[in-house]
Amino acid sequence: MKSKFFSWFCFAVLCFCLLIILWGAWVRISHSGDGCGQSWPSCQGKYLIDSGEQEKTWIEWIHRATSGLFGIMVILLVILSFLKFPPKNPIRKTAVFILCFTISEALIGARLVLAGLTGSDTSLARALTMNIHLLNSLLLTGSLFICWRFSLGKKLSFSKIFNKDKKKPMIFIFIFFLIAFFGSFSSLASSLFPSHSLLEGIFLDFNPQSHWLIRLRLLHPLLALLFGGGLLFYYLFRFVTHPKRKSSLNKSIIIFLCLALLSGIMNLLLLSPTFLKLTHLFIVYLLAMSCILSLESSQNKCNVS
């Protein structure tokens, strides 16, 4: 039988995970990653900080404290999955994946801190580690979302990805991660090298004397407009030519895709204000989860007993 408590708890863990991810983005945007020094998991050698600490120390400490709480919640989720559901149940397997991605997420964060890849560091090592951080967080939230859907009795048809006759989902996933990969470069560049005007930013993008992060950040909006805009046009064309095939799934993908493109364009025009950066990131995660829904089978539901 399905467990309502497990479903609600899994959904709560998912929401808390998204909150921590957004707070982690705020840590980077506010240059607070070095607020606790190069000590981990403690903050400046302590686990509880004094009220007189500077703001960036509080921002980083809150991120670590909530991440630790999230780790405890994930462990409880795994224990519940083994207590509530029988062997070979997909919820058990997904919960193990969640735990693995949580551990790797913590290790990547530790790597950033212990190696000093925070604050105003502009090294290639930091950029690549942050990219891995982003992709791992997408896999983590995706696993949590899948676990939650399983707990509701939904069935995911992963064969759609690997079916040779249906390559579109696999291609879409690859493009999504590619755009997200360069999006991490772009976000880091805008935080470390803010522009005072749109024209100045464009000039720096094409200036061979600019830092490599600045010259690389243009790839993200170009790829997003090329592939995201192309996909949006494809869905809209299908809606017009095949009105009987409309579905709530396609509508959800189109809505979040439009919002992602719109928030990205506004970020570009308004020079990436903090609120828009966080909004854009949140929409990207919602878009990823709406894409996972495309793997759900509408005919049969799995028994999560």
pLDDT in tens, 262-291: 999 999 899 889 999 999 999 999 999 988
Rounded to whole angstroms, the Cα distance separating 100 from 147 reads: 14
pLDDT value for 115? 92
Place of tokens 């808390």: 16
pTM for the complete prediction?
0.89
Rg of the chain over all Cα atoms, to the nearest angstrom: 21
pLDDT value for 305? 40
Question: 135 or 175: whose pLDDT is higher?
Answer: 135
302: confidence class by pLDDT, cuts 50, 70, 90: very low
Rounded to whole angstroms, the Cα distance separating 266 from 25 reads: 18
> Mean pLDDT in the chain?
87
pLDDT value for 163? 53
Q: Which of 90, 31, 32 is nearest to 62 (CA)?
A: 32
What mean pLDDT comes out for the span 37-53? 85
Place of tokens 């600490």: 53
Rounded to whole angstroms, the Cα distance separating 205 from 297 reads: 45
What mean pLDDT comes out for the span 188-217? 90
Most confident among 17-26, 110-119, 196-205, 248-257 (mean pLDDT):
17-26
What mean pLDDT comes out for the span 78-88? 93
Angle, alpha carbons 280-281-283 (nearest 5°)? 65
What mean pLDDT comes out for the span 189-216? 90
The H or E element containing residue 136 is helix 124-151
Most confident among 30-39, 143-152, 169-178, 285-294 (mean pLDDT):
143-152
pLDDT value for 136? 96
What mean pLDDT comes out for the span 49-53? 80
Can you read off the two tokens belonging to residue 84?
A: 């509530």
pLDDT value for 303? 42
